[in-house]
Structure 1
Amino acid sequence: MQTSSVTPFPVTAQHAAQPASSPFSLVQTDLSGGFDKVISDAMQRGASDDFVSRLFKNQERFIQLAEMASQQQPINSKTFLKNLSYEDREVLREVHSLADFIDDSKIDQMSSEGANNLLRLPHTGLDSDNDGFTDIGIGKTFMFPNSNTPPEVAEAWHNTTDGMSFKDKMMAEGHLMSSLIMANIEVDENGRFVARHEPGEPGYVNPLASADFSYKQWSTDWLRYLEDFKLQMSSDQYNRDKRFFEGFLQNLQQTGAV
């Protein structure tokens, strides 16, 4: 099936650095091939037969909807979603594994980012506001690399996690997510918890978006942490995490990342 180049919103400078081959490229040039990869990835991570069959069932219509959305003038994903039939909304819900039906009240609650990403392939949503989380519908998800990750860092990450189990990959992502969460924990002068700042709230920060954030330094800090607390964790956890961070640091150096 031949598909046209598709983007559900105008090009902005924020994502211009992503190479055309990136899954986060603003213009999705091969929706059919991209959806095939979505199915392949689902099977590799052990998704249920029922889940995979729903992807196959919805593949053709999802691609059509994404192409139709890109042809709006001007582009408005929330308006587009509200004009869809029940059946088409169900296609989007099932493809993106959403729990609840996409009714008009939920569309009203969505950010523009969340609405836009419903019309992109799963796992390729854009973090348009650069808060570290990617809105999908009314929900937020953390994934790494994301659309704002420097290409050389993404390459180092993929080289490090290639061949890892789905579980171990999720645990590796968890280290970055925990760093983001901890940066938004406010404590008093005695170290007592005061508040946790959420995306969109005053005081919220995304440390990964800081101009002086270094993935090399982040990896080095984690290796130092592992040595400092080696006796307080299992040998399996220590060895697994040390192997990961040493590998990531080496790959960052090879790709020229900071």
Structure 2
Amino acid sequence: MSIQNVNNVTPTAIQQRHLIQIPDANFFSDFKTAYAHYQSASPSNPSTDAKQSPSTTSLSDVMGLTYTEMAAVRGTSANDQTAYAAILNRAYSQGGMKDPVAFLQSLTPQEQGIVQRAHCLADPINPATMSKEGAYNLLLPDGYQVDFDHDGIQEVGAGKSVTFPPLDAPEQVKQAWLTATQNMDEGEMMTYQLRMHTMLYGINVNDQTGKSLAPTDQIDSYREGVDKFLAWLEYTKASTPADQYARDKAFFSDMKRLLA
């Protein structure tokens, strides 16, 4: 349940924390199967037969590497991780994703607090004020999101997040991104994430989001965008600090080569 070894490049820990994909058709059934294996191996499960070969499924296998990496960064307690996994299993088993707002409303305040902490939200969640997308993404572990309105910004509860590559980007774009950012620190990578996002969606003015400037599921959109960045870089070279020019030139040249 994670993106690994894309284009023979194993994601770094930093990259892993930022890898986002859409849940595929098998995501929910795979989760429930993995959770059942994990639960059957729990020491608290009296039905586990010690004479049988124990399951090797861990909570990381259930929740995915990106969630596990983020839980470590955030310092999410083991109890909260286990409780959040159980909440997700209920949502996936009881049809909660058909109406995620109603499912979140059905949770106790304590359970809503677990969801809040799982996503490191500053304020208590209020399902009544959320869109379907915002509620849906609260019920997905880190590493998975949806973008129902295709505006390039994912609502997570009441908050919003920007990712690059977009969820529907071609595989070659995802491969190029992993390769080009392999040796970056997190701050630099996030800077280029925002630049590439702006390339596709323009600048958000007064919280007015819209559709992409070019089709995000077509590789030519990325090729043309990178070409424009390189042309603009040359146009503004005289007013750009030399070190910044060198970094940008290297990055966008790499992307151009990898997208060819």
TM-score by length of 2: 0.71
1:206 aligns with 212
Q: Contact 2:135 / 2:156 at 8 angstroms: preserved in 1? A: yes
107, 130, 140: which one pairs with 1:84? 107
Q: Give the Cα separation in 1 of the matches to 2:195 and 2:171.
A: 19
Counterparts of 1:1-258 in structure 2, within 5 Å, are 23-26=21-24, 27=27, 29=30, 32-33=60-61, 34-40=63-69, 47=73, 51-52=74-75, 54=76, 56-73=78-95, 75-102=98-125, 106-180=126-200, 182=202, 198-199=208-209, 204-209=210-215, 214-253=221-260
Q: Contact 1:125 / 1:134 at 8 angstroms: preserved in 2? A: yes
1:8 aligns with none
CA gap 1:35/1:85 in 2 versus in 1, 3 angstroms: farther
Q: Give the Cα separation in 1 of the matches to 2:130 and 2:215.
A: 23
Deviation at 1:207, TM superposition (A): 1.7
Tell me the number of residue pairs that the alignment of Structure 1 and Structure 2 aligns. Answer: 210
Deviation at 1:66, TM superposition (A): 1.1
Q: Give the Cα separation in 1 of the matches to 2:188 and 2:71.
A: 16
Residue identity matched to 1:61: A
Q: Contact 1:32 / 1:63 at 8 angstroms: preserved in 2? A: no
Deviation at 1:69, TM superposition (A): 0.6
Deviation at 1:184, TM superposition (A): 6.0
Q: Give the Cα separation in 1 of the matches to 2:133 and 2:234.
A: 40
Q: Which runs of 5+ in 2 are unaligned?
A: 2-18, 32-58
> CA offsets per residue over residues 103-152 of structure 1, 9 Å max, x none?
xxx31221111111101012421112111100101121111123222222
Q: Contact 1:113 / 1:136 at 8 angstroms: preserved in 2? A: yes
Query: What percentage of aligned pairs have identical amino acids?
Result: 26
Deviation at 1:76, TM superposition (A): 1.3
Residue identity matched to 1:85: T
TM-align CA RMSD: 2.7
Residue identity matched to 1:78: V
Q: Give the Cα separation in 1 of the matches to 2:108 and 2:154.
A: 25
Q: Contact 2:91 / 2:139 at 8 angstroms: preserved in 1? A: yes
Residue identity matched to 2:259: L
Please state whether the residue corresponding to 1:65 is helix, strand or coil. helix
Q: Give the Cα separation in 1 of the matches to 2:231 and 2:89.
A: 48
Please state whether the residue corresponding to 1:163 is helix, strand or coil. coil
